[in-house]
Amino acid sequence: MQSIPGIHIYAGRGLRDWEPSPGVLPAGRHAVTVHLGDWLHARCDSRYPPGHTFSRHQTGVAVMLEGYLTGIKGLAHLNGSGIVDLLRLYLDEGLETLSRLRGSYCGLIVDPRTGSAHVFNDRRASRPLFVREGPDGRLLIGPELAQLAKAPPRLTGIDPVAVCEFVLFASCYNDRTLFEGVRKLRPASVLTLTADGRCLDRRYWQLQIDPDRPPGRTDDWVDQALEHMDGACRAARVAAAHPVLLLSGGGDSRAILASLRRTDWTVKAVTYGTAEGDDSTIARELASICRLPFSQFDIPLDLLQDSFRDGALRSDGQAETIDSPTLGDLYARLATSHDGYLQGDRAFCSPMPASNDEAVAVAGPIGFDRARRFADMLVPAIRSLAESSISQTLEEMRAAGRRLAPIDHRDKIYFEQRIANRQNGFAAANMRQLEQIRPWLDEDFVDFQFSLPATLRVKRRIVRLMLERAAPDLASVPYAEKDSIPQSQTYRRLIAAQPAMAEFVRRQFGEEFDARLSLMFRLGELDRLVESLASATAYPAPGHLWWGRLPAGWRITAKRYAADLLHPVRIVLRLMQVNIFLRSIEAR
């Protein structure tokens, strides 16, 4: 399996005779290296050429960038890839330059004048960077969690809170990872390293929302939204020469399609899914209206165990991918004739929250009060630890939005948590083959979207108005009502109907269940839930609770779990993904 492009950094005393080797790079990838004294070595592995990714000044200051810049605020045009502009501006302005950058990137600035190095990423952390600090003062930084975890000495301690977060939210919150000794760099962060072992992490930008912004006129907002979308699509052309559009039957990718037509950017379109739902059918109709070459990738629903394993390994422990089987094969096929993909990101989530407390759950993050079945399966010590930590995290999210209207609070959490963690983790898996291009997340476009009145963000009304204004033929096509990606009930039916798959699931929670995970759960409770999925029998009541032994105990259980937002099938699938990932590291 191909590695994720990125920057690899090795810092700490005792590295004088050690030189990081790029090994055998995948076809089309290039590597450049830089050093700072005898304590820091760095390598950039990128699909972009060295002239795009590296620049050095006569003072010795050097900049390394993996990814692409779409612009630098205050500059009318970039000089080539922008790497020379970035170096020049850093020499003039220092780290304040970082807030002016636009694009999808992570980078390193090496400054021998101060004996320091600065690792940074973009506003949304679209390219992963993980940090492992060792007890000897050494530091490892890289784009893949698995690589850092298995570096000598191999990490063994997993973070039970992070495991619970993964099950609840399909990713980990903030800077957590599945391993206690590794953290991820949060969005818009700069990590400053020095020869004496200091490591200072700070945010150079954070999302700001003005609660007192004027409402404005709807027509003006729509005009500006169209301008921002077209500008984002034009700027993104630097990312790939032959991209493909991932087209669905919804609104966000449809708005990108309309903008591509307005800006004369002709690309091929592809959709994927199963026979269920109308998503793929509508995507084909949209492509036909725009006369785009179109292809459909049918997700097969047999041999799920193979695609589950592939999805778990591709995920690198970042986000749930096991629920989108065989997409690794899809991106591998696309990579034979494309170098990037355009995708729509949900401009805003829905529905409208009734309060600031509800805004957090509506945006995606949930606590144990919305996942009681999962909580009932944890051993008491783990449940207490995780519940306390996650409750504190959720309370911090709530507190950060107290001055905001519930809808502003909802979208702030969605952008800062769901996109930065879950969506970005999913996109990182695909970066193994293709560059990501996400116009909805253009920095200036995001700032604009958060200035919109609430009435234009409810159920993504702004997207529909943009299409009605500038692409009435696309707006007239009905929006998809049912996703073509397999849902929980689909897996509940399929797993029990495929004996090999059912046995695979049983093994994952039996002889192949990771010992560290097994310490977190009441195994009898977990086993009963797994068996109900493998055999398509009724979901079990918690046997260790007194009402589970009553003749009508199911009524109490049903009432207790009625408010759950976490489907029982999701519990099993997400735990299985974590288990496959952890076991794969131990096996290497």
Residue-wise pLDDT for 417-474, tens only, equals 999 999 899 899 899 999 999 999 999 999 999 999 988 988 889 999 999 999 999 9
The tokens of 122 are what? Answer: 């973009």
221-237 pLDDT, tens digit per residue, is 999 999 999 999 999 99
Exposed / middle / buried, residue 337 (Cβ in 10 Å: 0-12, 13-18, 19+): exposed
- First vs last C-alpha separation in the chain: 13
Count the Cβ atoms, other than its own, within 10 Å of residue 338. Answer: 21
Size of the chain, expressed as the number of residues it contains: 588
d(CA 214, CA 235): 29
Mean pLDDT of 377-398: 96
Question: Could you tell me which of 255, 9, 273, 256 has the C-alpha nearest to residue 120?
Answer: 9
Q: Give the pLDDT of residue 458.
A: 86
Q: Give the pLDDT of residue 17.
A: 40
Band of residue 326 on the pLDDT scale cut at 50, 70, 90: low
Inter-residue contact 166 to 94 (CB < 8 Å): no
Inter-residue contact 121 to 64 (CB < 8 Å): no
pLDDT at 59 over 50: yes
Choice between 498 and 545, residue whose per-residue pLDDT is larger:
498
The tokens of 519 are what? Answer: 């310490």
With a pLDDT cut of 70, the percent of the chain lying above it is 95
Backbone angles phi, psi at 322, to 5 degrees: -65, -20
Exposed / middle / buried, residue 588 (Cβ in 10 Å: 0-12, 13-18, 19+): exposed
Lowest mean pLDDT among 94-108, 263-277, 423-437, 544-558: 544-558
Mean pLDDT of 119-142: 92
Band of residue 249 on the pLDDT scale cut at 50, 70, 90: very high
pLDDT at 23 over 70: no
pLDDT at 303 over 80: no
Band of residue 19 on the pLDDT scale cut at 50, 70, 90: very low
Q: 23 in helix, strand or coil?
A: coil
d(CA 258, CA 293): 15
Inter-residue contact 106 to 66 (CB < 8 Å): yes
Q: What kind and span of H or E run contains 22? A: none
468-493 pLDDT, tens digit per residue, is 999 999 999 999 887 777 788 888 88
Q: What kind and span of H or E run contains 122? A: none
d(CA 176, CA 419): 15
Q: Would you call the peptide bond into 542 cis, given omega within 30 degrees of 0 as the criterion? A: no
d(CA 162, CA 130): 15
pLDDT at 357 over 70: yes
Kindly compute the dihedral angle of the four CA atoms of residues 367, 371, 376, 381, in this order, to the nearest 10 degrees: -20
d(CA 412, CA 415): 5
pLDDT at 207 over 80: yes
pLDDT at 21 over 60: no
d(CA 526, CA 197): 44
Q: 107 in helix, strand or coil?
A: strand
Q: Please state whether beta strands 243-246 and 268-273 pair in parallel, antiparallel, or not at all (unpaired).
A: parallel
Q: Give the pLDDT of residue 553.
A: 66
Inter-residue contact 184 to 128 (CB < 8 Å): yes
pLDDT at 571 over 60: yes
Band of residue 401 on the pLDDT scale cut at 50, 70, 90: confident
Q: Give the pLDDT of residue 25.
A: 82
Mean pLDDT of 370-386: 96
